């Protein structure tokens, strides 16, 4: 019970920012003396700090507020895409210490190359963390079919990877024990649900376009992952039987009509240009009123709407969030998307659903990767602190052992 209450208070502070004891009591349903004790315990664990708030609670007396302490649990969040790699150090409360995103211009990399690159990028970010930080682990978002319990990538068609023990490889390269991994669209959905402005919606579908297309589903506030965790491969549902061959081997998959390669093809670029600079160039030409680009984005928008209409009929969500490059191009996709989604969806589920552009932008999956690890810390704050103390006293594996040196 006590662990449950600790988690409830830490979760409120992590999501909502600073709160007074009475606000916490109101939101958790716990009484104020219990809240006081829980805050004291979380403070001793180094996860929460109390201080003066901006508002006053009585005549001239500034109220004391509690807030999550970012350095109390820090995650190295990683997003591995076909055409980019992104990384951030994220603390409790969603505080971003540092963030970096680089383009991969040379096409898909071997897993070992990607892991070496990841380690190079991670060094300076980890070195820049405050000296008093507590490291909670690595969270990784991958564009592929991922087994969550051990971070094994079964297949990532667009990265051209199959059967890669990626979490083990990253853990060995960085010298960290705790590497958690999940599909990027699932993590995008998690981030939109936890940190986006979902307005209290509990049935959410996140649709992300990259080279491939994936969706993440939140059902009644919980991730819907399927029996083995592989749900959401909507990019490989058949949408156009007369369509093109897909990288997965099937024909007419949704992503062959709306993925980056379709965008490149329809916009008159070579397939290779899907790797670098495509979205910027399409945006530039769209803003200048280029009719070829308008036509291309109209087609992408229509096929996107057909797929989203099917999802609305199947899942009856109250919110569909548009992410990835669809989010970057959204103003030019919106009308065709909404028209064809409405045409595809039945009236009742259509009327109970809103479609919205992601406010987290291209970082949804990266933020979701940090939430994946922080959720474990929040669920068991005491156990987290104990495991860190065990490491610090030398009875556990050194969290920092073997970490690559940063520098030129
Ligand atoms: Zn496919």
pLDDT of residue 229: 85
In percent, the amount of the chain with pLDDT more than 90 equals 75
pLDDT of residue 12: 95
pLDDT of residue 407: 37
pLDDT of residue 275: 58
Which among 218, 153, 228, 174 has a CA at the least distance from the CA of 192?
218
Take residue 159 and report the two structure tokens written for it: 């990265």
What average pLDDT does the chain have? 90
Q: How far is the CA of 76 from the centre of ligand 1 (A)?
A: 31
Q: Which DSSP letter does residue 404 get?
A: P
Q: Could you report the per-residue pLDDT of 189-202, keeping only the tens digit for each?
A: 999 999 987 778 99
Take residue 50 and report the two structure tokens written for it: 């109390």
265, 271 contact by CB (below 8 A): yes
pLDDT of residue 403: 44
Q: How far is the CA of 80 from the centre of ligand 1 (A)?
A: 19
CB atoms within 10 A of CB 172: 13
pLDDT of residue 400: 42
Q: Could you report the per-residue pLDDT of 59-106, keeping only the tens digit for each?
A: 666 678 999 999 999 999 999 988 889 999 999 999 999 999 998 877
Q: Could you report the per-residue pLDDT of 11-68, keeping only the tens digit for each?
A: 999 999 899 999 999 999 999 999 999 999 999 999 999 988 765 555 666 678 999 9
Q: How far is the CA of 194 from the centre of ligand 1 (A)?
A: 30
Q: How far is the CA of 316 from the centre of ligand 1 (A)?
A: 24
Which among 78, 95, 75 has a CA at the least distance from the CA of 374?
75
Residue 159 has pLDDT above 80, yes or no: yes
Q: Could you report the per-residue pLDDT of 97-135, keeping only the tens digit for each?
A: 999 999 887 777 899 999 999 999 999 999 999 999 999
Q: Which DSSP letter does residue 180 get?
A: E
Q: Could you report the per-residue pLDDT of 358-402, keeping only the tens digit for each?
A: 999 989 999 999 999 999 999 999 888 888 766 655 544 444 433
68, 118 contact by CB (below 8 A): no
Q: How far is the CA of 371 from the centre of ligand 1 (A)?
A: 29
Q: How far is the CA of 253 from the centre of ligand 1 (A)?
A: 5
Q: How far is the CA of 304 from the centre of ligand 1 (A)?
A: 15
Q: How far is the CA of 158 from the centre of ligand 1 (A)?
A: 10
Q: How far is the CA of 246 from the centre of ligand 1 (A)?
A: 5
Q: How far is the CA of 224 from the centre of ligand 1 (A)?
A: 21
Q: How far is the CA of 232 from the centre of ligand 1 (A)?
A: 13
Which among 80, 88, 48 has a CA at the least distance from the CA of 66?
48
Q: How far is the CA of 244 from the centre of ligand 1 (A)?
A: 10
pLDDT of residue 80: 93
Residue matched to tokens 């530039």: 284
Q: How far is the CA of 348 from the centre of ligand 1 (A)?
A: 30
Q: How many helices (H) and strands (E) does the chain have?
A: 15, 16
pLDDT of residue 398: 43
Residue 250 has pLDDT above 90, yes or no: yes
């Amino acid at each position: 019970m006590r662990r449950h209450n600790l988690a409830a208070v830490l979760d409120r502070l992590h999501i909502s920012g600073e709160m007074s004891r009475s606000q916490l009591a109101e939101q958790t349903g716990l009484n104020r003396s219990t809240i006081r004790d829980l805050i004291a315990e979380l403070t001793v664990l180094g996860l929460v700090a109390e201080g003066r708030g901006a508002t006053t609670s009585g005549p001239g007396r500034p109220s004391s507020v509690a807030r999550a302490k970012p350095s109390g649990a820090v995650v190295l969040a990683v997003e591995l895409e076909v055409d980019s790699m992104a990384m951030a150090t994220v603390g409790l409360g969603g505080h971003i210490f540092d963030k970096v995103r680089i383009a991969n211009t040379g096409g898909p990399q071997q897993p070992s190359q990607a892991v070496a690159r990841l380690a190079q990028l991670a060094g300076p970010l980890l070195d820049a963390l405050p000296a008093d930080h507590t490291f909670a682990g690595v969270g990784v978002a991958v564009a592929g079919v991922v087994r969550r319990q051990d971070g094994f990538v079964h297949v990532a068609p667009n990265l051209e990877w199959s059967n890669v023990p990626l979490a083990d490889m990253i853990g060995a390269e960085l010298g960290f024990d705790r590497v958690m991994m999940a599909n990027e669209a699932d993590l995008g959905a998690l981030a939109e649900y936890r940190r986006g402005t979902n307005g209290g919606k509990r049935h959410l579908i996140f649709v992300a376009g990259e080279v491939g297309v994936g969706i993440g589903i939140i059902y009644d506030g919980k991730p819907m992952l399927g029996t083995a965790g592989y749900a959401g491969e909507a990019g490989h549902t058949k949408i156009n039987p007369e369509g093109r061959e897909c990288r997965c081997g099937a024909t007419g998959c949704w992503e062959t009509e709306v993925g980056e390669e379709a965008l490149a093809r329809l916009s008159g670029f070579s397939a290779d240009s899907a790797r670098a600079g495509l979205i910027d160039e399409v945006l530039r030409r769209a803003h200048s009123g280029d009719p070829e680009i308008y036509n291309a984005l109209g087609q992408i928008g229509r096929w996107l709407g057909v797929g989203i209409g099917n999802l609305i009929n199947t899942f009856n969500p109250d919110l569909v969030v548009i992410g990835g490059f669809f989010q970057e191009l959204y103003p030019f996709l919106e009308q065709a998307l909404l028209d064809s989604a409405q045409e595809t969806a039945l009236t009742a589920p259509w009327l109970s659903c809103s479609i919205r552009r992601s406010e987290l932008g291209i970082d949804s999956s990266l933020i979701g990767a940090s939430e994946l690890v922080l959720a474990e810390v929040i669920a068991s704050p005491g156990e987290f602190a104990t495991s860190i103390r065990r490491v610090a006293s030398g009875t556990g594996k050194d969290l920092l052992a073997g970490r690559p040196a940063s520098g030129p």
